[in-house]
């Protein structure tokens, strides 16, 4: 098992929050990058049914995304409590995505601990740029040095949602 409790030095230059790993370990939580521990069905169901960003994603896409990403799972004992993945070359750039903590594990500080563990991971040090997209967690990510795009006019995208989410009042 590859557990990611940081024995490596903490880079606090951009972080405003420092989470004590021992607090979570004593409560039986762990974070791992071991993909064999991931509960694919749990991840798929969350992304497809509960997330606002990946509703309608096919299971095969989730499998391929996990296969080709650097993944982090939060565990309470053997039960998965959360997930995040990083798309990266591990040299210059990382895109943080699909971050979630299951509702029964929220409000415990696990999302902060997860983000801290990810940005401090030894294989992700020295990157020139980190990126992410969020509709509702700006405050969480700001604590770890993330800011709005400094030059949004230089960024472009191709956006192809899996399913159009109809809002109340939209025509069918």
Provide the CATH number for the domain around residue 30.
3.40.630.30
Residue 68 lies in a domain: yes
Which residues 6+ apart lie within 8 Å of 40 measured at CB? 59, 62, 63, 66
Specify if 3 maps to a domain: no
Residue 106 has pLDDT above 90, yes or no: yes
Cβ atoms of 84 and 98 closer than 8 Å: yes
162 domain-assigned: no
Q: In the predicted model, is pLDDT for residue 64 greater than 90?
A: yes
Q: Where are the alpha helices (DSSP H) in the chain?
A: 21-26, 40-45, 59-67, 110-120, 138-142
Cβ neighbors of 129 (< 8 A, separation 6 or more) are 92, 93, 94
**Mean per-residue pLDDT for 42-66?**
96
116-149 residue pLDDT tens: 999 999 999 999 999 999 999 999 999 999 999 9
* 5 in any annotated domain: no
Q: Which residue range is the domain that position 40 belongs to?
A: 21-154
- CA torsion sign for 159, 163, 169, 170 is positive
Q: How many domains in the chain? A: 1
């Amino acid at each position: 098992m590859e557990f990611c409790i940081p024995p490596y030095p903490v880079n606090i230059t951009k972080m405003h929050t420092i989470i004590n790993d021992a607090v979570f370990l004593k409560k039986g939580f762990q974070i791992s990058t071991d993909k064999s521990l991931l509960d694919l069905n749990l991840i798929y169901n969350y992304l497809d049914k509960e997330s606002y960003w990946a509703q309608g994603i096919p299971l095969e896409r989730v499998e391929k995304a996990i296969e080709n990403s650097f993944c982090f799972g939060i565990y309470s004992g053997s039960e998965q409590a959360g997930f995040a993945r990083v798309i990266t070359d591990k040299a210059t750039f990382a895109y943080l995505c699909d971050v979630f903590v299951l509702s029964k594990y929220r409000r415990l500080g696990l999302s902060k601990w997860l983000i801290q563990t990810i940005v401090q991971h030894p294989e992700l040090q020295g990157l020139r740029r980190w990126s992410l997209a969020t509709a509702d967690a700006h405050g969480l990510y700001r604590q770890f040095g993330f800011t709005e795009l400094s030059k949004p006019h230089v960024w472009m995208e191709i956006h192809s949602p899996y399913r159009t989410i109809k809002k109340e009042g939209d025509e069918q």
